Amino acid sequence: MTKRKIEANDLFRLTSLTDPQWEKHSRKFAYVQTTISEEDNEYLSTIYVGSLDGAAKPFTSGKGRATSPRWSPDGSRLAFVSTRNEKAQIYVMPVDGGEAEQVTFCKNGAGSPVWSPCGTKLLFSTAVESEEDLKAGAKTEEKKKKPEPMVVEKLRYKSDAKGFLDKKNDHLAMLDLKTKEITQLTQGDRDYGSPAWSPDGKKVAFVANLEENPDEVLVTDVYVMDLESKEKKKVTHSNGFFSTITWSPDGAFLGFLGHEKEFQSATLTRVWVYQLETEVLHCLTENLDIEVGDVAIGDFHSGNVNPGLMWTEDSDGFYFLLSDQGGTGIYYGSIDGAMYPIHLPGEHVYGVSILTDSHEAIVGISSSTDPGELYYLDFRSQKREQLTHVNKAWKEEVEISAAEPISFKAPDGWDVHGWIMKPAGFEEGKKYPTILEVHGGPHAMYANTYFHEFQVLTSQGFVVLFTNPRGSHGYGQEFVDAVRGDYGGKDYIDVMSAMDYALETFDFIDEKNLGITGGSYGGFMTNWAVAHTDRFKAAVTQRSISNWLSFYGVSDIGYYFSEWEVKGNMEDKVEKLWDHSPIKYVANVNTPLLILHGEKDYRCPIEQAEQLFIALKKQGKTTKFVRFPDSNHELSRSGNPALRVHRLNHIKNWFVEYLEGAE
């Protein structure tokens, strides 16, 4: 049977499985299954529960999104978050049957449920302006008849995720499931997150920035609160970013991930352990030159959850995710600092839940040819068994291109890693137009994972080339830091070296028909490339940066990111910002450039696209500008489904128009 080619709207045929949660008593596991309704143009998330010896079945039903399944300590109930009644609220439901009970009625919704060790309370997060927002029947504020101005007094007053910030803050609250009484645990004009309950039920840990001026002192500290006295103790030193807290089973240690900003935003995330009795904080992966966590770039899964440290029953060790050489896998670490790999496949482990007493795991795994399924792993016997087959029928229907790894040296001898994908229907002896993809971040990592955009392009007859240039995670601290202050320098050389290597190595690339595209930092690099070379016949820049001068202050991170990353400022290093701005060199652009941008992108605001388009248009350059309404920086990953399809088709059609040889 001839397989058909993948199209942009195959997004509506794919199923995403995320956030696996394994319960040790019953050995049942829960997870979130997400599909996209083409008819309703919306995401539908359902919680499933399964066991190793049987097929998983839907646990929740109805429209909307059900997420964050969390087992009660005895395994008899699941708490989860649902939007079935518009606002996201927390529900609790017996696993063996019964109705779901809505247990929060917060005005602004609720999320991140954490069971108390005794199973009678839930710790959760909610946006709060006043304590009234926590109560059932809280009045919804009536629409004002007359508009009022927004008064801004803080450096940080908007967010790509939330839009313009108001007087609400993310606070932690505790719900007594028997009495339904809710206690607000944190107060004030600060945000709190990453809640974790101590094994004895007497304390909770969380992260917050409680510095006097949080706008200027950019940190996230770990705190422990005594639930009886409400006293808070800070366990980190106001010099870094920390998150993802877990307690050791014996309550002696707090484990979390983070760093002390030694290289600002380019610092490797590491494993930290705080001993409560001695009040000593240790970095346990100081000598491990690897990024802890999953930083793989993709455009399919959203809602991936980093479990942090998954402690063994004896509290002497833990498992954790890490990103290395374009793959994500599982490491084991011990309190005494020993670290070694447990599972390092050439794949993307994007979700994991471990029964640490038996050293077994349920993992979500994706590859370049597989959107993702759940697997059972036994770390001792190395047994591996596929548990789900949600994308099997689709995979059997379409032609999927595999990503083949490549490695090469930049002109200065640095090793660079990447991949190349042949077009669908590849024929030996034929030459194909080729598209060079550049990832965002820049401190992220292309990986051995499914990328829908790449498959749409290979199905159209393009070779797709992608690489991890300097600035990418996965290749050590020196490599990820090398881009700071050098945007458009050695990173640009790495990207172009990938193109040179591919042309020298693969005879199926048509050197006269090359394209380039990327988003965010990848959009910056696309802009930079077409302003510094004419070797590309077409380019697509997405949610990009074109002008570091105007970026300063207009982005939700623009008042510090430019200083940290470009190493320029508005005081005495203005020329540094201008010299690294692609728009400075716009007169040199001869490549037809398509500009894609979301209108509510507060990370790379749309003014970056607007001025680039006008500058090109006024000089008679070939360009087109596509604006996506109500879309933020996450359009390609979790944005409006119909607009995601439009975006993919605009990219494909632009390259079809300007590159010869595409089908």
CATH of the domain at 481: 3.40.50.1820
**Active-site residue 650, yes or no?**
no
pLDDT computed for residue 345 by the predictor: 76
Average pLDDT over residues 312-331: 96
**Active-site residue 520, yes or no?**
yes
Structural domains in the chain (count): 1
Does some domain include residue 609? yes
Average pLDDT over residues 578-604: 98
Mean pLDDT taken over the chain: 95
Does some domain include residue 637? yes
- In whole angstroms, give the CA distance from residue 474 to residue 327: 8
Does some domain include residue 256? no
pLDDT computed for residue 241 by the predictor: 98
Tens digits of residue pLDDT in 594-628: 999 999 999 999 999 999 999 999 999 999 999 99
Residue 585 belongs to what domain range? 401-658
Does some domain include residue 486? yes
**What CA dihedral angle connects 396, 401, 402 and 407, to 10 degrees?**
180
pLDDT computed for residue 140 by the predictor: 53
Cis omega (within 30 of 0) for bond into 442: yes
Tens digits of residue pLDDT in 7-21: 999 999 999 999 999
Output 176-183 pairs: Cβ under 8 A, ≥24 positions apart.
176/120, 176/121, 177/92, 177/103, 177/120, 177/121, 177/122, 178/120, 180/103, 182/104, 182/134, 182/135
**Cα dist. 618→126, 270, 292, 344, 601 in Å?**
48, 48, 46, 52, 25
Indicate if the pLDDT at residue 138 is higher than 60. Answer: no
Does some domain include residue 628? yes
Does some domain include residue 617? yes
Tens digits of residue pLDDT in 412-444: 999 999 999 999 999 999 999 999 999 999 999
Closest to 326 measured CA to CA, from 404, 265, 391: 404
Band (pLDDT 50/70/90 cuts) for residue 143 is: low
- Out of 37-41, 53-57, 236-240, 457-461, pick the least confident: 53-57
Tens digits of residue pLDDT in 230-272: 999 999 999 999 999 999 999 999 999 999 999 999 999 999 9
Helix (H) or strand (E) holding 77: strand 77-82
Indicate if the pLDDT at residue 304 is higher than 90. Answer: no
pTM of the model: 0.96
Indicate if the pLDDT at residue 455 is higher than 80. Answer: yes
Catalytic residue among 368, 633, 636, 650: 633
Does some domain include residue 296? no
Catalytic residue among 82, 368, 520, 581: 520
Give the phi and the psi of residue 114 in degrees, each rounded to 5.
-135, 120
pLDDT computed for residue 67 by the predictor: 96
- In whole angstroms, give the CA distance from residue 264 to residue 484: 9
512 near 537, Cβ under 8 Å?
yes
Helix (H) or strand (E) holding 522: helix 521-530
pLDDT computed for residue 144 by the predictor: 62
Indicate if the pLDDT at residue 139 is higher than 60. Answer: no
pLDDT computed for residue 438 by the predictor: 98
Does some domain include residue 641? yes
